[in-house]
Chains A and B, each alone.
Chain A
Amino acid sequence: MALDDLYQEILLDHYKNPRNQGKMSDPDKRLQAKNPFCGDEVTLNLKFDGDRVREISFEGQGCVISQASVSLLTHYVKGKTVDQILELIERFQALVKGEIDQLDPQVEELMALQGVSEFPTRIKCATLAWNTLKKALHEYDSEQSDDEGR
């Protein structure tokens, strides 16, 4: 496996110029997660508009793979519905585990992370933010239904 398959230009660009990085005032949902393997942290901030993610930002630092992955994540989930996002998460996780080898053309930049599937020790770097987002969406959903129940 060639190194350049892992470290693609697009990833290095996101690493250097991360999209949607920074704090968010008054988010509807905020969730922090750690990669116990390396101590990297990521925090996602989300604002919803009905069942759509209206705004998203991330905080934290990490390796090229983790930072590019979370930057791309924020880029692609903004404006999408929760159901669309959950499906994208499934597809992305399958991609970096090598279970599928294609994604929708609309999210084609994520294909840059396909090379991770050949580096098993780095899969966690790529999936940390996505796992966190999935958890955040589920938590937000159950918090909403709790509120309705009251």
Chain B
Amino acid sequence: MQINSEEKKAVDIREIRERFPIFAQRENRDLIYLDSAATTQKPDSVIKAVSRYYREYNANTHRGTYRIAEKATVEYERARKTIARFIGAVSERQVVFVRGTTEAINTVAVGWGDRVLKADDEIIFSELEHHSNIVPWQMLAQRTGARIRLWEMDKEGRLHLDALRNLLSTRTRLLAIAHVSNALGTVNPIAEIVQLAHDNGTRVLVDGAQSVPHQQVDVTALGVDFFAFSGHKMLGPTGIGVLYAREELLDEMNPVQFGGDMIESVQVLTSTWNDLPWKFEGGTPNIAGAIGLGAAVEFLQEIGIDAIHRHETGLIRRAVEQLQALPGVRVFGPPGDRGPAVSFEITGIHPHDISTLLDQRGIAIRSGHHCAQLAMKKLEVPATARASFYLYNDESEIDRFVKAVSETRDYFAKWL
């Protein structure tokens, strides 16, 4: 039997960390960065790719007839191809560069939703969603008279397919769903969800912001209609992200930004649109960002996304097990598999106070509602503390983090 070389790869954390300049900074020597679900650190190769564009061939894309303009265009489009292959898109025409997940979802809400939805049509989103996969649909519903239906989660943050079956109706036009929950780490069975939705004639938009950075994603195999993700959560620069969609949907959609680069021809009263994907990329794009994201994907491919996933699965299991073993600590989220993020609380202590104490020990975690207020409400907490991991974290960091949580509980215990 042939063993896939990818399967054999193990992650050498020390070697990986050396490629992230931020960890080499003197003042960051003791930094334990556990907030990668918010944004990730950047490897040297990404920083250099961005800098090389500005230093060596800075020019606008798709216009100039001179050497560096041609180079900028080639590199920008090469990044698109790299990303398209990485997510399993059939064609790079399906990969639209946007600012991030939020802009991708808003583009679908306006460009597709306003065109397709009618009064009394229905949009389903889940209780787990990030606000960026809730609010654009609320606004769309207000504009069109469509109705919102909520796919509720259980107390452990799991969504059940039976509940979805009951929600789907002949009026359901769209289902908006996170691949992996940013707040609780829940991993949703997208292929099955898509199957159910498609059997009902419902389109599916998947928020992949927390999946693409951490696991193999094949948008074609999953069968999704729309897929959104952000570059900065996968080692890339901020301000760049991707909207993937099936080509016939992109064809039928309206552009939402009108201006340069997205037109084919302009007359006095009307204009026609450029080909895919440029039809959606009005104005000078984030060229450096796209090139940086291409470099980030190449970095992930070099380490191996499956190896990264295995490494993170080990980290999250270790963290959840150790936190659950601490008296006075409550871990939120589903039992079993989850993405590399764990939300928790210490009884009687507000998450802000936890994160301030951890920060004193150089440990960066997030406290708050994680832009998931519907999920927080279901859990009956105003906020949680959340630690999230990536390929540059290791077991010793998890152990120090859990020890600090334990010390935080003890620090307040004498008062409370």
Q: Can you list 14 A-B pairs with a CB-CB distance of less than 8 A?
A: A3-B357, A6-B356, A7-B353, A9-B415, A12-B416, A38-B352, A38-B382, A39-B382, A62-B352, A63-B350, A119-B356, A122-B352, A122-B356, A125-B352
| Given A63-B350, A63-B353, A119-B356: A38 touches B369 (CB 8 Å cut-off) | yes
Q: Are A38 and B356 in contact (CB under 8 A)?
A: no
A16 interface residue (CB < 8 Å to B): yes
| Given A16-B416, A38-B369, A38-B382: A3 touches B353 (CB 8 Å cut-off) | no
Q: Are B352 and A63 in contact (CB under 8 A)?
A: yes
Q: Are B383 and A38 in contact (CB under 8 A)?
A: yes
Task: Give the docked Cα–Cα distance between A125 and B11 (Å).
Answer: 40
A55 interface residue (CB < 8 Å to B): no
Task: Give the docked Cα–Cα distance between A75 and B96 (Å).
Answer: 56
B170 interface residue (CB < 8 Å to A): no
Interface members, chain A 1-36 (any B CB < 8 Å): 3, 6-7, 9, 12, 15-16
B360 interface residue (CB < 8 Å to A): yes
Interface of chain A, main secondary structure: helix
Q: Which residues of B contact A (CB under 8 A)?
A: 349-353, 356-357, 359-360, 367-369, 373, 376, 382-383, 411-412, 415-416
Q: Are B368 and A38 in contact (CB under 8 A)?
A: yes
A112 interface residue (CB < 8 Å to B): no
Q: Are B368 and A64 in contact (CB under 8 A)?
A: no
Q: Which residue of B lies closest to A62 (CB)?
A: B350
Task: Give the docked Cα–Cα distance between A56 and B360 (Å).
Answer: 35
Q: Which of A15, A38, A61, A65 has its CB near the most chain B CB atoms (within 10 A)?
A: A38
Q: Are A39 and B383 in contact (CB under 8 A)?
A: yes
Q: Which of A39, A41, A65 has its CB near the most chain B CB atoms (within 10 A)?
A: A39
In the complex, which residues of chain A have a beta carbon less than 8 angstroms from the beta carbon of B383?
38-40
In the complex, which residues of chain B have a beta carbon less than 8 angstroms from the beta carbon of A7?
353, 411-412, 415
State which of B353, B357, B368 has its C-beta within 8 Å of the C-beta of A39. Answer: B368
Interface members, chain A 46-105 (any B CB < 8 Å): 61-67
Q: Are B351 and A38 in contact (CB under 8 A)?
A: yes
In the complex, which residues of chain A have a beta carbon less than 8 angstroms from the beta carbon of B360?
3
Q: Which residue of A lies closest to B376 (CB)?
A: A39
A121 interface residue (CB < 8 Å to B): yes
Task: Give the docked Cα–Cα distance between A99 and B37 (Å).
Answer: 35
- Min Cβ gap A40→B in Å is 6
Beyond known contacts A16-B416, A63-B350: 12 more, CB 8 A cutoff: A3-B357, A9-B415, A12-B416, A15-B415, A38-B352, A39-B369, A62-B350, A64-B350, A64-B353, A65-B353, A67-B350, A122-B356
